[in-house]
Amino acid sequence: MQTTKKWPIELINYRQSSIFDGYEITFSINNQNFQFFIGNRKNPFPFSIKHQFKEKEICTICNKMIAPVPVGQQLCMEMQKDLSSLLKYFQKYNPEIFI
């Protein structure tokens, strides 16, 4: 388990997006799944982070009731406030992905 200043992040999976020039990173925090979208492979920038829950439940980060995917793929507004820090975190612990 790796930890940002705010959250314990686990089960990280990186992949280049087939839809846009960038990356999709899936990970979990407190056994809840999230999907982080990063644009531009050469000069990455964060643009959104969504819940990706299997069941209807309250997000431990934003305290919002989230429906399961695909309906529940809503932005996590609390994490949206910290996109730059999350990108730096993923770049620090997995720099080979961003080459």
Q: Which amino acid is at 85?
A: S
Q: What residues does each domain of the chain span?
A: 2-98
93 or 37: which leads in pLDDT: 37
The per-residue pLDDT for range 19-76, each reduced to its tens digit, is 899 999 999 999 999 999 999 988 899 999 999 999 999 999 999 999 998 887 899 9
- Whole-prediction pTM: 0.88
Handedness of CA 3, 7, 25, 54 (dihedral sign): positive
DSSP state at residue 75: B
Model confidence at 1, in pLDDT bands (50, 70, 90)?
A: very low
Q: If you search the block for the tokens 């999976």, which residue do you land on? A: 13
- Asked if the model's pLDDT at residue 4 lies above 80, the reply is no
Q: Taking 90 as the threshold, does the pLDDT of residue 11 lie above it?
A: no
